[in-house]
Structure formats: C-alpha cells, structure tokens
Amino acid sequence: MSRGHVQIRDRDPKSQEEQELEREREELRKQLHYGHMEEYKELVGSYPNSPVLARKFAGAPPDEPYENDSYTGISDDSDIDNLKPRKQHWANKMQFVLACIGYSVGLGNVWRFPYLAYKSGGGVFLVPYFIILLICGIPMLFMELAVGQYTGRGPIGALGQLCPLFKGTGLASVVVSFLMSTYYSVIIAYAIYYFFTSFRPDLPWTDCSHRWNTPDCWVPERLKHNISRPEMSRTPTEEFFENKVLQISHGIEYPGGMRWELVACLICAWILVYFAIWKSIKSSAKVRYLTATLPFVLIIVFLGRSLTLEGADKGLNYFFRPNWSELGRANVWINAAAQNFNSIGIGFGSMISFASYNKYNNNILHDTLAVSFVNGITSLLVGIFAFATIGNIALEQNTTVEDVISGGPGLIFVVYPQALAKMPAAQMWAVLFFFMLLCLGLNSQFAIVEVVVTSIQDGFPRWIKLQASLP
C-alpha cells in the first residue's frame, strides 16, 4: 500500500492515563470510605502524578495526622498506601505529659545518677549535666516529639516516612527497646520481691542470724563499738541480696537452681505490664495517674527524712563540694551525656510513640520544657537523698563515702535498705521505698513495651484492631 493511502488514526495520549487515574481514585475511595469529607475530596482531587505533587502530598492535612497501613510508605510506584487517621489520641495533655515524665524519671535516676556523680567529682557533675541537657537533651527531645506528632506513627513508620533509609534506625530503636524490656523486668521483679518481704514483722536484712548469713557477716554498731568495718566483712543487706535473693553460685561452672520466688515475681511484673497496656494508651494513661505521680510524693518524703539522718551532712559535703579539675576530663562529659540521653529516653523510640497519639496541632514546646525540667530537678533531688543516706551509712560504719557507694542495682537493693533498717518504723519506710521503686520501674517498662506494640500496630493494622478514641 502506498504511503499516500495510509490512514493514521489519532490517539489521545491522555485518555489511557485518565482512565487509569479514575480507577485509582475509585479504589482509593473504597479503601478510605471518607468520600463525604471535604478534606479527602481535595486530597483525591490533588492525587500526585509527579514528583513535585508527591512531595506536596507527603505533608499531613491540617486537622489530623495519618498513618499508612504498612511500613512501605508513599512511593512513586505504589501511589497511596491506604492512609487512615490515627484512631486513638490522648484524652488530654496531662496524660501525654505524665507518660513522658513517667518514662524519663525511672530507676536510672535513683541509682545511675548518684553513682555517675560520685565517679565524676561529686557536685561538679551537675555542671556538664545541665549544660548538655540545655544544648543537646532538650533539642533532641523536641525533635523526637515533633517527628512522632507530625507523622502519627511509631519510630519505624515515622522515620521511614521522613526518609526510607531511616527505617533501619527506627527498627534498631524498637529492637533495643525490646532487649531493654527483658532485663528491666528483672529489676522490677526484685522490687516486687523486696516489697512483699518488707511486710514481715522483722526485716530479714537487719542482722546476721539467718541461715543464708556467713561468718563474714558484720552488723555496724557504732554506738557500742567505735570500730571501722573489717576488710573482709559483709553487711546483712549484702548477704541477703546475694545469698538469699540471687543465691549467687561460686562460679559459672555451678549454674545453681531455679529461683522460683523470683520467677513468680517476674510473671507478676509482666502481668502488671499486660493489664496496663492491653488497651494501648486507653488503659495505660489511667494507670499513670497513680504510677507517675506517687513516686514524686515519696521522693519528697524520703528527701526530708534523709536530711534528718545523723551523718547526712557528711554525704552532702561530698556531693556539693565540687572538684573543678574534673571538668577537664572527657569521661565526665561523656557520663553527663549518657545520663541525659538514657534518662530522657533519646533514641529508644518511646517519645516518638507517645507523640504519635497527640493531636496534630498540639504545642509540644511546652511539653518538652516541662519534661526536661522535671527530669533534671528530680535527678538533683534524688542525688541529695542518695548522698545524705550514704553519709549516714558511712558514719555508722566509721568509713568514707567512697567505701559505701556502689553502682547498679546494688545501690537500691543493698545501700538504701541498710539505711532503712536503722530508721524507726523500718517496715513502713521499706514498704514505701520499694513501692516507689516498683512504680518507677513500671512507668519505664510501660513505655518500653509500648514502643514495640505501637510499631507492630503500625506495621500490621489489618491484623490488630485498635480500640476507639479515648473518651
């Protein structure tokens, strides 16, 4: 056929694209079921078909944050991944602030801060601590809260929405939180064990007359015998913790038996966590009205009681006598930064998860300042309480503060109980103290586990049905 007889049929290059776009719009309407809302009509009408529109589309609407049905996010080839509004929000700002404060003020403030202050020159540690809090802690906390509130997602989805490469960072924070929950629950189990043991008529860590005590057990009696602590001696609180509670074996080749009392306490700890978060923030927010407020009352009570102890001035002089030469050591600043990030919870994903339940227009600047201020002041008050108590023990044992203080759980399960045993109404003070530790531990555990739960809910929303909005 000659070239002049060839008939060229005109094709509309946009017709096929328009048909495909209409099909995608209809599918989106079926998935969202929000076609009657003006915001979604505008959203569907401005469906992104170019990189410029896609970047514009990535911003959240002004009223509510939205979340995707999976961690795939918005991509050029997958279009829109079933955007849904967050079904749960905090009932009020107080619930959100209490959740953040309860997480930031935990067991680390009670045992880690005093020990790091001791290692870093006493009161001089407060200088780098508050400097790093101002220039690093507060800005990073604000950033995490902003990311969570803007995206309405947990750490994996939130960071992945900012940049797909950051999903690994969010996943790492969830994994770290999961690993933390495994050992944090053990500390809570110890607190539960001590809490119930404190109801006994005679506290079992006051003397050396029990079957778990050894010939090296030594009870400080300064009023009767003004002698220093023998070199190889062990206090009743040390032997109770190591020989009775933990039943530490002589070596790794001797695994020892199962501690069924601690197993029961561990199960009890996880049951408390389960019933506190089984309806997500709807249930945990109500629990925090008790667990996040009562510890502060008890901290004030113990602070006042510790200041009246004999020898408290000895510990306070050590705490507030600054050794300015320590500021030249890098380890002091490293310890201050580590304590700030560990206490506030930077990098663990909990703050992102908490903020994801906020309303989109919530003012998080005030929340950030409130959480940071309460955390810093609490650390200072706990430091005063700790060193006043340690000064009393140092006087009883006729030794120095350096010989008394210890790091880790030993400070709260060995040093503090020794001081409580010397107080009038020792059982009452012991019950209050270990109940305070239990509340502090549970607050942090709630937040740690909620990171994992929120991430699972964000990743598999079709399998996990969330409850309705908070009343």
H-type alpha helices, 152-253: 155-162, 167-197, 236-239
109 is in an annotated binding site: yes
343 has binding-site annotation: yes
Kindly state the DSSP code that residue 240 receives in the 8-state scheme.
I
Please tell me the number of Cα atoms within 13 Å of 261 on its side-chain side: 12
Residue 83 assigned as binding residue? no
Max CA pair span of the chain: 125
Is residue 173 within 8 A of residue 349, CB to CB? The reply is yes
**CB-CB neighbours of 175 under 10 Å:** 13
Q: 311 with 392: CB under 8 angstroms?
A: yes
Cα–Cα distances in angstroms (integers) from residue 8 to residues 3, 4, 12, 135, 228, in the given order: 11, 11, 13, 70, 108
- The answer to whether residues 102 and 444 touch, using CB atoms and an 8 Å cutoff, is yes
Picking from 193, 196, 197, the residue whose alpha carbon sits closest to that of residue 205 is 197
309, 389 contact by CB (below 8 A) = yes
Distance between CA atoms of residues 164 and 372, nearest Å = 30
User: Buried (b) or exposed (e) across 269-287, using 16+ Cβ within 10 A?
Assistant: beebbeebbeebbbbbbeb
Residue 440 among known ligand-binding residues:
yes
**382 appears as a binding residue in the annotation:** no
Give the end-to-end CA distance of the chain in Å, rounded to a whole number.
78
Distance CA 74, CA 83 (A): 10
DSSP 206: S
- Name the token pair of 135: 């220039």
Q: Which residues pair with 84 in a beta bridge?
A: 67
Of residues 411, 399, 428, 426, the one with CA closest to residue 311? 399
Q: Please provide the size of the chain in residues.
A: 471
- Find out whether 347 and 337 touch, Cβ atoms under 8 Å: no
Tokens of 286: 């109500």
Q: Which of 215, 189, 233 is nearest to 399 (CA)?
A: 233
Annotation: binding site for Na(+): 102, 105, 109, 343, 375, 440, 444
Annotation: binding site: 102, 105, 109, 343, 375, 440, 444
